[in-house]
Each structure stands twice: as C-alpha cells, then as structure tokens.
Structure 1
C-alpha cells in the first residue's frame, strides 16, 4: 500500500531530488535507511551499549581520520597481502 504526501524541502535537497528518475523510490529508500539505523541503535541500546549523539559523532570523526590515512600505496599493499593470503603464500615481514 502507498500513500501520497506533499513535503517541502530546502533548495539543495530539491535540486538533488530533481536528478532522480523516481523521486518516490529514492525518498522511500532513504527513509528506510534511516529507519534501519534507528532499529540498529535501539537494538544496541537494548543489549547495554550506551549510544549518544556525541559518541556517534566522535566515532564518525575517528573513522574519517583513519580513512584519510589510507593512501593509494597502502591500499595496494593491503590488496597484495590479501591476494597472497588467499593463495596461502603470505610471507610475514618482521
């Protein structure tokens, strides 16, 4: 079942939606992703994780910092190691 609704969005969001061939599907998928995140956070809270907006923001910042340190050279080295290990030929460098 579907329901037609009218919404107002800021100009930048409207410009982004204008590029979508099916705005309804795009919005529905976006909202479902938010809902999935909410369910995940609630499940984590239910088993004892104390999640806060500040804690999530800090974790996101740390993840961004870590990802920024991944150079193309490091990515290539990791890919080579993964390839070697999958063939059972991983040599440990000391």
Structure 2
C-alpha cells in the first residue's frame, strides 16, 4: 500500500531530487536506511551499549579514514583472500 504526501524541502535537496528518475523510490530507500539505523541504535542501547552522537560521529570518521586507506592493490588482495577462504583453501599465513 502507498500513500501520497506533500513535503517542503530546501532548494538544494529539490535540485538533487530533480536528477532522479524515480523520486519516490529514492526517498523511500533513504528513509528506510534512516529507519534501519535508528532500529540498530535502539537495539544496541537496549542491550547495554551507551551510544552518543559524538561517539557515532567519531566512529563514522574513523570508518571513513580506514576506507580511504584501502588502495586498489589492497582491495584486490582482500578479494583474492576471500575467494580462497570461500573455497576452503585458506591456509595459515605468516
């Protein structure tokens, strides 16, 4: 079931949405990602994790920094290792 709603958005967001062939699908995906994040945070808090906005921001920065260090060569090596592991051929490596 779907529901049609009207919203007001800033100009920069409207300009971005104008490039989308299916604005409804784009917005639905974005909102569902937000909802999944909220559910994850609620679940973590319910089992004792103390999450703060500052901590989440710092974790996001650290993740961005780590991802920026992944070179094409490192990515290729990781893919090869995962392929070996999935075939059960990963031996102990030193």
**TM-score range for the pair, normalised by the shorter chain length:** 0.7 to 0.9
Q: Which residues of structure 1 form unaligned runs of 5+?
A: none
What residue number does 1:11 align with?
Answer: 11
For residue 88 of structure 1, report the CA deviation from its aligned partner.
4.0
What residue number does 1:58 align with?
Answer: 58
Q: Which residues of structure 2 form unaligned runs of 5+?
A: none
Deviates further, 20-29 or 61-70: 20-29
What residue number does 2:26 align with?
Answer: 26
RMSD, aligned CA: 1.9
Question: Measured at CA, do residues 14 and 76 of structure 1 come closer, stay the same or move farther in structure 2, by a change above 3 Å?
Answer: same
- Higher Cα radius of gyration: 1
TM-score (norm 1): 0.81
Question: Measured at CA, do residues 17 and 93 of structure 1 come closer, stay the same or move farther in structure 2, by a change above 3 Å?
Answer: same
1:55-94 aligned within 5 A = 55-94=55-94
How many equivalent pairs are there? Answer: 94
For residue 10 of structure 1, report the CA deviation from its aligned partner.
1.4
